[in-house]
Structure 1
Amino acid sequence: MTTIGLPVALGIIMFGLGLSLTPRDFSRVAKHPKAVIVALICQLVLLPAICFGLVLLFRLPPVLAVGMMLLAASPGGTTANLYSHLFRGDVALNISLTAINSVIAVVTLPLITNLAILYFMPQGDGLGLQLAKVLEVFAIVLLPVVAGMLVRWWKPAFADRMDKPVRIASVVILVVVIAGAIAANLDLLIENAGRLAGITVLFCVISLGIGYLVPRLLRVDRRQSIASSFEIGIHNATLAIVIAQTVIGSVEMSLPAAVYGVLMFFVALAFGFLIRGRGGAAGTASGADADAEVSPTSATP
């Protein structure tokens, strides 16, 4: 389940992502550089720093601490695109950010994880310092995406037809594989779930909040801020699990991502309704103000 099933499931997911990408998704960044730069700084700088602070605050054991940092270093996944669509974010920006993050993660994920290993587990093997493991991360993250993009370039009609079946297949395979992995390590998961629930939920809430509020404070428009919040707040837990279990070889290190992967759906859903409600309230308030301004004029003969 873990050594073969998880990488295959992730490969199908990343291939499906590639089927939906074109070079235009990368060039689109030039049209919205501010939104992209702000989101990437939040993703690559702020979140790892905040996660490090949370790990120290919650006093996690070293292997779980590294697992949390690995999760923080993982880019957003295709689930972010779905949530952004549901709550009226700029999905095109999500797609561009996912594409860019998939490329950048080849460098940043091993780097951040290796620094965490050096700090929390100084006797452990470094991920980023070993060329073979960097190549594994490259193969897991980037090659399926490139393959999907090549298929779309070569056979665009086929890519369009296969987009939905690949998405469905990836979800089914992923659910089966993760269920099997959880069943195989149920005692270990139950033993650590209570310890990890608080920090994973808090990290998810902070990630979503930063992804929305920082762009808004910097005058990024609301739809792009919604897209940013889900891209930054919904990490690719599957990728973190695969790296922990198949590249580093630690089931325990994958537990933070496993717990996060379950709880994140509910937290992101609640957050989406919260910001949608705030948007509606703001719109209502603006309408009320407008009516207040107009009514004296309309009463004038």
Structure 2
Amino acid sequence: MLNEGEEKMSKVEKLGKVIGRWFTLLVVLWAAFNYVLPQTSLWLVPNVSYLLGIILFGMGLTLKLEDFERIAKKPLPVLAGTVAHYVIMPTLAWLLCLIFQLKGATAAGVILVGSCPSGTSSSVMAYLAGGDVALDVSIETLSTLLAPVALPGLLLLFAGEYVDIPTTSLFLSTVKIVLFPIILGVVLHSVFGRKIEKITHVLPLVSQVAILMIIGAVIAANHANLFTAATALVIPVVMLHNLSGYGLGYLFSKLIRLRDPQRKAITFEVGMQDSSLGATLAIKYFVPAAAIPSTIFSIWHNISGSVLASYWRDKATEQSQPVKPLGNIYSTDK
């Protein structure tokens, strides 16, 4: 029989599965609720970075040092995914600006979000979809480490005089928000081993709640500018940007003959951006209009990502193929 602690853990795990099944609907309802009553989540706005840290800390807890050692022995997927991200997304953003004839701050905002490193939510989506989380986090980490160089270079190439990025501040913020929580999680897993593994089953619930809180905060902070005449053209641009990123990311990973869990990871890593970082930089260094593409992207890519993650998870269940354990990223199993 289960003791009291194990019984509570089992209930939390079951709740996580229920929320996971209806997560897309919850995202839409929660977004609409916060649009109508933005004061509900305004208090979360200053704490978004902590919520991102919680998500990444949880992802770190699922990983072991051995996972990264295996990646180091076969670095091709990490390098390929990072290059694909920084080639596909900024180029798509630039092309969409040309096609839709976006100008000024709006165009700069689209290119800014397209030039950001991989989105922190991508790790959660890969986790929920049964993807290669270690590979996902590795690509996310590498793309973030490259951001101080990649961001200003891409913005100079595609956005010209519209953008000026403070690389030192960007580097320091990404280290604090992204790298530290992941490293802390990996270290704790390595030190405490099986004790940590007992709680990893509830991490999807923690991640889902954190994502909902982030969405609420983003909408609450920008609700007045989300659906106006000025943003009418930005919405389809953002949707096409994200969906095209998924499609090209998956096609690229298939062309280089990666396994299914790795394809899922690269799909999310290419198509999802650190839109919170984009919105923060736009608000701090440019006019408010430049933050609108990042704000819309933040809402949309969580909706589209949860739909895709749910589809892949349901497909695996229907085919009676159990998801491989997290970290088992270079198995010889077909």
- TM-score (norm: length of structure 1): 0.72
Name 2:197's counterpart in structure 1: 160
> 2:63 is matched by which residue type in structure 1?
L
State how far apart, in whole Å, the 1-side matches of 2:208 and 2:54 are.
Answer: 9
**Structure 2 residue aligned with 1:68, among 110, 116, 122?**
110
Matched, 1:228 2:266: yes
Structure 2: state its 5+ residue gaps: 1-42, 319-334
| CA 1:168–1:67: 2 relative to 1, 3 Å | farther
Name 1:26's counterpart in structure 2: 68
Query: What is the CA deviation profile of residues 165-205 of structure 1, one whole-angstrom value per residue up to 9, with x for unaligned ones?
Result: 55534543442353244234212111254222211111122
Structure 1: state its 5+ residue gaps: 86-90, 281-301
Secondary structure of residue in 1 paired with 2:51 = helix
**Structure 2 residue aligned with 1:11, among 30, 41, 53?**
53
**Structure 2 residue aligned with 1:78, among 110, 113, 123?**
123
- Percent sequence identity is 22
| CA 1:222–1:156: 2 relative to 1, 3 Å | closer
Secondary structure of residue in 2 paired with 1:4 = helix
State how far apart, in whole Å, the 1-side matches of 2:151 and 2:145 are.
Answer: 11
Q: Which has the larger radius of gyration?
A: 1
Shift of 1:46: 2.7
RMSD over equivalenced CA pairs, Å:
3.5
| CA 1:118–1:35: 2 relative to 1, 3 Å | closer
Shift of 1:207: 0.8
C-alpha contact 2:278 2:294 (8 A) present in aligned 1: yes
> 1:84 is matched by which residue type in structure 2?
A
Query: What is the CA deviation profile of residues 1-55 of structure 1, one whole-angstrom value per residue up to 9, with x for unaligned ones?
Result: 4662211211212222222222222222256544444322211223222222222
Name 1:39's counterpart in structure 2: 81
> 2:293 is matched by which residue type in structure 1?
P
Count of aligned pairs: 268
C-alpha contact 2:49 2:177 (8 A) present in aligned 1: yes
Pairs within 5 Å for 1:240-279: 240-245=278-283, 248=285, 252-268=289-305, 269=307
**Structure 2 residue aligned with 1:108, among 138, 147, 170?**
147
State how far apart, in whole Å, the 2-side matches of 1:132 and 1:98 are.
Answer: 22
Secondary structure of residue in 2 paired with 1:122 = helix
Query: What is the CA deviation profile of residues 140-171 of structure 1, one whole-angstrom value per residue up to 9, with x for unaligned ones?
Result: 22122222222222223443344455553454
C-alpha contact 1:34 1:220 (8 A) present in aligned 2: no
Name 1:126's counterpart in structure 2: 165
